[in-house]
Structure 1
Amino acid sequence: MNTQDKYLISIVGPTAIGKTALSIKLAKHFNTEIVSADSRQFFRNMQIGTAAPTPEELASAKHHFIHHKSVQENYSVGDFEKEALKCLDTLFEKKNIVIMVGGSGLYVDAVTKGLDYFPNVAPNIRETLNIQLKNKGLPYLQNQLKELDPVSYNTIAIDNPHRVIRALEICLGTEKPYSTFLNKGKTKRQFKTISIGLMANREMIYNRINQRVDIMMKEGLLDEAKNLLAYKSFNALNTVGYKELFKYLEGEWELDFAISEIKKNTRRFAKRQLTWFKKNENTLWFDFNTPTAHIINTLLEKTKP
């Protein structure tokens, strides 16, 4: 495969900004296919809460890595990296351009740059951290991480216990910050990546998030959460939109409060997404209202032989 003229167009940006719609327009223009790098859209039965592409959107362009896993399966970023690269190898045999879209920064970076590799640490460290999580709660672990590695505290998905524990076990097991192991010795990819980001001012992003949550509730997010309640202990369901509704369904919260928490936690998530994506200085940022034709013209310039 001649890799000099193979391009992965990676669309990033905060949640609810319009990445899916743009990806489909670009896929149609370039007559190509879409690889999803959204770590929650991998799972079946999580259609509404993850804002997965609709059946109509899926029919309008070929998608990969949408609803291909059960919520009961463990599917790591390393698994995704291997499978996505294999998929891209196949696609690049017949396409010069492939679109990738998703708001999960770690999963995007796994494909475009490769994963970071960490030293092995004693398994009892993770066991201890899991016990602390159970007995003292996530805020206790978050504060530990803030002290040991403020960089990671400000960049990882701090509301995800799995990510917090992973960062902490490296800090404790190596006596070095987790963040110091990042971005070293990456494998060079056999394709070129063009990263484009969609952006809006904070007020607009937050308004779009609030509107999206209201639409999700009207579309049946509560029923979807009810159907998934039995699986709430699985990592796939440790997700904004579901974990708040589980608290309502178990009588812990009022529904209005649960909905307000979904909005608040989604806004926090969007803020962290932007922090992550803005680390890539090569990303071409566009206002979310930019005409698609302008974005296409920019990409045509960048992909000229």
Structure 2
Amino acid sequence: MAKLSLDALKIINLIKLTGSFSTTARLMNKTPSAISYRVICLERNLGVKLFDRNGPLISLTKEGENIATEGEWILKAIDNLECKLMIKNPRNPVFNLGVSESFSINLLGRSLHDFSVKYPKIKIKINKMKDGSEWGDLESSKLDFVISNISCPSQVDVKSKFIGENKLIFCAAPEYIERNHKKIWCQKDAEDELLAIITNSSLDSHVRYDITQLKIKNKILVNDFFTQFSLLEEGYGIGIVPMLAVKKQLDNQTLSIVDLGYELGREPVWVGWENRNPSRYKSWWIEELDKLKIAIQFDEQDAVQ
């Protein structure tokens, strides 16, 4: 009998996306205790620890990340197959939500839950997007709704609205800051000894920040935020990240803000939809915009405290 079922892969994937057992439980219409028990059974059957737990804060172990990454390929393949079948069987619709890689999915927890309760027969598919491809996918009806850190290109025929900003911060592990305190703030020998960990994402090309003000010569370029966060948490360097994307790490004190006395900039948050195929589902999400804007402003203030 297989130790990993599709349902188990979905649980691991949702916990990775939301960072929360309780949010995962709401999205899967289960109780938090049921999700917790399922994870315990999975860890026992697989013989590995999937998650590190620190109170309400949840993060994947290296083994858990490996399983989640491989599981995502399987889930995507099944979703693609189901989407093809949906064309022939429209009675089981899917609502495709495209979300920028750096956007904190936790902000959508309540909205996703409320949508699932209101439309229990609608399957929600969350698509993490990179490099602005979400707008083209929205125009071609591959996505139904978009939350992006990139404004909609003028040639793309969809509706879009600016709803807020995500503050950019310098951050590093507390031990890295303590170990390199003088180099970071006094710039003494910083050029040769400090290490910048930078993500090769749409954030770099569209916000156009750089780390040259720290005079750091040594850099590691990674392809995604998860790898960047992991290296930062391990104490290997300093990086620039959107504050809301690392709110959990800041609360957990695995990362700390490096305050150099000036603001780096802000990542915009846009939402978009297309009106050629209107539906009550899109209308529902459009009505959520003001709530989401309030959540962004509240969370940023909360993260600073």
TM class, shorter-length: under 0.3
> Comparing both structures, which one devotes a greater share of its residues to helix?
1
TM-score of the superposed pair, with normalisation by structure 2? 0.26
TM-score of the superposed pair, with normalisation by structure 1? 0.26
